[in-house]
A and B are shown apart, each in its own frame.
Chain A
Amino acid sequence: MPDPAGLELVAHELREQVPDAVEDTDYHRDVATLIIRPAGILDALRWLRDEPSQRYHFLASLHAADYLPAAPRFGVHYELLNLERVERLHVKAVLDDPGAPALPEIDSCVDLFPTAEFQEREAYDMFGIRFRGHPDLRRILMPDDYEGYPQRRDFPIGGEPVLFTHNEATTPRWWE
């Protein structure tokens, strides 16, 4: 992990290379977080990956979170890893909720990190975050015809009837 001073250095260099990308930095419990504006996420990730002094080549994980009722509602998290120094850098982009039926949008990083393909699909499936430029943005865990984004905080837990053979005729919309 970069220490707090190292994180500020990274943020400073990134501000020079990609203007308007860095929104903020955060250092909490030994985790260095770069908060990036969604519009500059691809440039920032590309710089972090290709810049010789950074070389965060490995995207360990990509996941989303819903911060309801906070104002920028959604967060997309990129856990970058430098394999030589075994340093992790947490990159986070926060997205506003445009309000239903529109979906929040961010650029897909599949071209930079092919590993993100399944994980972006999962974030789309569970949170309804649309990744622009994703080659195959479909639901991955939920059924293709499912309505709603189940891991949003305003989506209730339970309440859906479990489909068995004995109740499928009486379960609404089972045939769809």
Chain B
Amino acid sequence: MVGVSERTAGESVPELATGVVTEPVTAPQAPDGDLGPDRELLTVNFGPHHPATHGVLRLLVTLEGEVVRDMKPFVGYVHTGIEKSCEDKSYWKVIPLVERADYLAYHFNALVFCMAVERLLDEPVPPRAQYLRVIHCELNRIHSHLVWLGTSAMDLGAISVFWYCFRERDKVLDAFEASTGQRMHTRYIQVGGVAEDIPAGWDRRVLELVDDLEERVGQYEAMLDRNEIFLRRTKGVGIVDEQRLLELGVTGPLLRAAGNPFDLRKAAPYCSYEDFDFKIPVGTVGDCYDRYRVRVAEMRESCRIVRQAIEGLPEGPRITENRKVALPPRHELATSMEALIHHFKLVTEGFRVPPGEAYVAIEGPRGELGCFVVADGSAKPARVHFRDPSFVNLQALRDMTVDGYVADMIVNLAMLDPILGGIDR
């Protein structure tokens, strides 16, 4: 059940008259004492190769009947050593690598890494580049939430939602392809700005896209919000209170569903988010249904941000004019020796970053996405660390699932929205 929390900074998701009442789903309690003949614990490996784990996640589940008594997550199956590989690449070559960590939030990964390097360089970003970053990140957020909505609904048996969500997701990827040349892992956000300006007519196309998306999101809601199976499987399931979530370091939609309106875009605006008018959806109960409602409402807010950013897109350069950091325009190479030298130095060695450490955090689709960069004065970072929200949020899964039914574990996992590429890096 979603209502207005007293502390909300923004909009609360409107409640629908569905007839399904929210009551915490409780499984039978364990009797005290030793295991009797009628009580048997069964340990089951869930995953790593299981479609409902949303990746290569293994859960060691201790079951009593169909009630989960203990649960332990095992990760690392797709560990590729991205952080270590970053130490062997110059700064601008790190961007394509980090994009592949959380593969549904690639613009966010690139943005947070670039922001950390920009802080170490003390390099300002032109306003047009900031707006273009916001547009791409918010479209990326919609894309990530669409994948989440489709796969989660599929876990609950609603496979048609999956097809529809992936149709809309493809349209977002088409927009990325038009502006950046790639559908995923675009290497679009660069240190000091963005790699390319948007092509002519792209803004109109994206405005049509977000108009379309807003309508489509309403249709998906209509498919799920009055679906009794969906409601009964999500309402009252996996409730963890706000205080416990904060102790576990959970951020993002999971925390907001429990009633805490903490969102870095509002709390500590970066990348000119303070220019836009948008609301932070919050839930009140903190069950899986609230998590679903919060994310769906977030997609609408993202559409609003994209529309405002396109309508208010300032003129100006798309990347910093500092030739020590950003490549000179191509046409200058034919006429300017200096531009040629800068180009050569940047492409061969890359730029050097003065020694220092920076931790920068932004609001990713799954929560606080942080990047920690240590520079030692050379052209390669000495350490790159990603505080991936999926990695931290996964610790809350135990609190959500223990003493619930094993079927509810699937719902909890789906609504947690873990991306194993981000967890394992």
Query: What residues of chain A have their CB less than 8 Å away from a CB belonging to chain B?
Result: 28-31, 33, 57-61, 63, 65-67, 77, 79, 83, 86, 88, 90, 113-119, 122, 126, 139-143, 150-151, 153, 155, 157
| Pairs A–B under 8 Å by Cβ, sample size 20 | A28-B357, A29-B122, A33-B357, A57-B246, A60-B387, A61-B361, A61-B370, A63-B372, A65-B357, A77-B359, A83-B246, A88-B359, A116-B249, A117-B395, A118-B391, A126-B83, A141-B75, A142-B79, A151-B84, A151-B383
For the complex formed, measure the closest distance between the CB of A143 and the CB atoms of chain B, giving whole angstroms: 7
Closest partner residue, chain A, to B388 (CB atom): A61
Closest partner residue, chain B, to A138 (CB atom): B74
Q: How large is the interface on B (under 10, 10 to 19, 20 to 34, 35 or more residues)?
A: 35 or more
Further contacts, 16 of them, CB under 8 A, given A30-B119, A151-B83: A58-B246, A60-B249, A61-B359, A61-B372, A63-B385, A77-B372, A86-B268, A114-B249, A115-B249, A119-B391, A141-B75, A141-B425, A142-B76, A150-B84, A153-B87, A153-B382
Write out the residue numbers on chain B whose beta carbons fall within 8 Å of the beta carbon of A77.
357, 359, 372
A143 contacts B76, C-beta separation under 8 Å: yes
A113 CA to B83 CA, complexed, in Å: 24
A66 contacts B246, C-beta separation under 8 Å: no
B138: interface (CB < 8 Å):
no
B88 contacts A29, C-beta separation under 8 Å: no
A22 CA to B318 CA, complexed, in Å: 44
B76 contacts A65, C-beta separation under 8 Å: no
B392 contacts A119, C-beta separation under 8 Å: yes
A115 CA to B120 CA, complexed, in Å: 28
B215: interface (CB < 8 Å):
no
A145 CA to B383 CA, complexed, in Å: 25
A29 CA to B247 CA, complexed, in Å: 29
B262: interface (CB < 8 Å):
yes
A141 contacts B247, C-beta separation under 8 Å: no
Write out the residue numbers on chain A whose beta carbons fall within 8 Å of the beta carbon of B76.
139-143
Closest partner residue, chain B, to A79 (CB atom): B359
Write out the residue numbers on chain B whose beta carbons fall within 8 Å of the beta carbon of A28.
356-357
Majority SS of interface residues in chain B? Answer: mixed
Write out the residue numbers on chain B whose beta carbons fall within 8 Å of the beta carbon of A143.
76
A29 CA to B124 CA, complexed, in Å: 13
A30 CA to B359 CA, complexed, in Å: 11
A46 CA to B374 CA, complexed, in Å: 26
Task: From A66, A115, A126, give the contact of B248 (CB < 8 A).
Answer: A115
Closest partner residue, chain A, to B72 (CB atom): A136
Closest partner residue, chain A, to B373 (CB atom): A65
Write out the residue numbers on chain B whose beta carbons fall within 8 Å of the beta carbon of A155.
84
B258: interface (CB < 8 Å):
no
For the complex formed, measure the closest distance between the CB of B89 and the CB atoms of chain A, giving whole angstroms: 10
A119 CA to B87 CA, complexed, in Å: 20
Write out the residue numbers on chain B whose beta carbons fall within 8 Å of the beta carbon of A30.
119
Known interface pairs A77-B359, A90-B359, A141-B75; A157-B372 also in contact (CB < 8 Å): no
A66 contacts B383, C-beta separation under 8 Å: yes
Within 8 A of A (CB), among B356-375: 356-359, 361, 368, 370, 372, 374
B368 contacts A60, C-beta separation under 8 Å: yes
B85: interface (CB < 8 Å):
yes
B81: interface (CB < 8 Å):
yes
Known interface pairs A29-B122, A61-B372, A65-B383; A118-B392 also in contact (CB < 8 Å): yes
Closest partner residue, chain A, to B267 (CB atom): A86
A28 CA to B247 CA, complexed, in Å: 29
